Amino acid sequence: MNSKRIAVVVFSGGQDSTTCLVQALQQFDEVHALTFDYGQRHSQEIEVAKILAKQLGATAHKIMDVALLNELSPSALTRDSIPVDTGLKDLPNTFVPGRNILFLTLAGIYAYQIGAQTVITGVCETDYSGYPDCRNDFVQALEKALVLGMDRPLELRTPLMWLDKAETWGLADHYGALALVRDETLTCYNGQIGSGCGECPACQLRANGLAQYQADKATYLEQVKHKCELD
């Protein structure tokens, strides 16, 4: 039986998934980054993911073609012709129906093939953008379905689920990666690396969280340290 602790990180090269990758590399013997190419609005996301996975030292980085999702789920993230909503609302047009259902299912299959016990995703219910497939109930339900469907233990780990954006910055800082996450990740819906366009909802959440973190860094670091110890 393989005694190595192996994890698969669903990795987009954005703030959240990069923070998850940084943490996983400290916690597992092998960490495989898995990036999905679904014809997303800004294809440079994949190039950023390639660079970061190599730079951070992932055991392997697989890019999986899931172009069918683009055909089935038109949204502002899969169609250049659909302007990105600039305001925060219940279900923004950047929601890609079925994306996390597909991504986590495929990540579970990939984990089965390489003998990984854990799939890690950066979804978050505290500071999420109204996406129903980022909720804890959804992740728990899908984990149960994957375990039943493949008849093998599998954990869907969500280290950011109960962190707000300020705490997520604190987690990156806790692992010495704040500057890398701040300057080299791609979170912006308009495809701008680092601080981004400053206007889209993703950039607003990111910037507000960073400002909150910097205003009370010591408190947030202590909160993150405590939560990491609980994990």
Is 20 assigned to a binding site? yes
Q: Terminus-to-terminus CA distance in the chain, angstroms?
A: 25
DSSP letters spanning 72-129: H--STTT-TTSPPP-S--SS-TT--TTHHHHHHHHHHHHHHHHT-SEEE----SSS--
DSSP letters spanning 112-125: HHHT-SEEE----S
Is 176 assigned to a binding site? no
Is 17 assigned to a binding site? yes
Is 21 assigned to a binding site? yes
Is 124 assigned to a binding site? no
Is 188 assigned to a binding site? yes
From the centroid of its chain, how far is CA 182? 15
Is 126 assigned to a binding site? no
Phi first, then psi: give them for residue 41, nearest 5 degrees.
-55, -40
C-alpha to C-alpha distance for 171 and 122, rounded to whole angstroms:
12
Is 203 assigned to a binding site? yes
Is 27 assigned to a binding site? no
Is 16 assigned to a binding site? yes
Report the amino acid identity of residue 29.
Answer: D
Is 13 assigned to a binding site? yes
C-alpha to C-alpha distance for 104 and 139, rounded to whole angstroms:
9
Q: Binding site for Zn(2+): residue ranges?
A: 188, 197, 200, 203
Q: Binding site for ATP: residue ranges?
A: 11-21
Q: Binding site: residue ranges?
A: 11-21, 188, 197, 200, 203
